Amino acid sequence: MSELTDLTAVQLVDGYRKGDFSPVDAVRAALRRAEEVQPAVNAFVRVEPEAALEQAEASAGRWRRGEPQGLVDGVPVSVKDLLLMRGGPTLRGSRTIRPEGAWEEDAPSVARLREHGAVFIGRTTTPEFGWKGVTDSPQSGVTRNPYDTSRTSGGSSGGSAVAVAVGAGPLSLGTDGGGSVRIPAAFCGIFALKPTYGRVPLYPASPFGTLSHVGPMTRDAADAALMMEVISGPDPRDWSQLGAVAEGFRAGLDGGVRGLRIAYSPSLGGQVAVRPAVAAAVRRAVECLAAQGAYVDEADPDFSEPVEAFHTLWFSGAARVVQHMSPAQRGLLDPGLREVCAQGARYSALDYLAAVDVRADLGRRMGHFHATHDLLVTPTLPITAFEAGAEVPKGSGHRRWTGWTPFTYPFNLTQQPAATVPCGVDEEGLPIGVQIVGPRHADAVVLRAAHTLYEAGVGHIAPPAVA
């Protein structure tokens, strides 16, 4: 049954419905893949085979009776170890969190998946408290890229990206505060969506405030649309949640891009140096959208790099995370996290409010931009995966991870939906991603454009070396 690890969630559900195989078959295959690849890539903090097989047996019984519990009944799912999941600790990549305790509460997105019958196979790795764009932590070590294990998986949802890429379950829950589902998805050759802020409820509230989104990490856009139908359900614990989407995310998925006005910005107006292989692959994806009937013109959004404002907001959030910690606990932290926490603690309330003003102006500018463009397309990242265990590429001159992620974090500031689709590989066989950004609330349009790329063959690349 090893071929089951190649199937999408949509294909698994279809197979369950037809009786071609059972959730027990699919979950056993996913667990086997997780066990096989874990020594090479370190995608999981914890795998729970007994609990997963118990859930799979229950799901199989429901399918035999013709009474599936929900849209993803029996589908193997993993969860980033930042999101609460009852029955076990959420360690957040940190040695400062004690695993003892009841751990009786699910995060909203986890609760919705549970209600729909998903089978949870394990918890995936994260940098400490999700603070950076690569995945290594004092608690769980380094997570490696399945295309080349000497390279980084990206982050902060690196474990989730790797789990999906290698076939250890087609669905994973990640979080994205500055690119954290899109960065690792691009590096590992999978799909990811950062939804409009509030579209997927979040609890407890992130210390990084309204920068942090919860999103699906999947084999393709159709799986993400399915997952969004589940996890976007309302939850009263999130005061900033958005109302339900009446039409859902799957209804218009096959509608194509004909007539859409798409802006292609290869370098944000010359602000970003993009590697030639990345630029060429992204351009081919844009040409595919044009061939499918979209009106494409090269146009850049009207903003200068807002990195200092982002740092003020992000580092202040990091400082808030550790505010209650003793000196002994702080000594256990990732040294890079200690640095940004110290910087964040030096900002004043006026500094923070000035960053909020920059954010508001950026949102206004993007609102005007989308008055004439339905979508914006950029590279997801200007580079491909670099050496594992480093926050920035050697010799890059960057001090922090934001230096090599200029296409991702601005759209956390603006709260817009943004997805990444694989669009090729570089000369070393490392995946390249193209980013599709929509105006706030246009998640379904972003998914439709991404699905068009998959249907045209652009989103399918060779499987990773460890697959």
Domains for the chain: give ranges and CATH numbers.
Answer: 2-455 (3.90.1300.10)
Give the pLDDT of residue 1.
43
Phi, psi of 378 (to 5 degrees): -140, 170
Which residues are part of the catalytic machinery? Answer: 80, 156, 180
Mean pLDDT (whole number) for 270-277: 97
Question: With 80 as the cut, is the pLDDT of residue 123 above it?
Answer: yes
Question: With 80 as the cut, is the pLDDT of residue 2 above it?
Answer: no
Give the pLDDT of residue 247.
86
Give the pLDDT of residue 421.
98
Question: With 50 as the cut, is the pLDDT of residue 461 above it?
Answer: yes
pLDDT in tens, 143-173: 999 999 999 999 999 999 999 999 999 999 9
Give the pLDDT of residue 414.
98
Give the pLDDT of residue 170.
98
Nearest partner of 385 among 100, 188, 179, 101, judged by Cα: 188
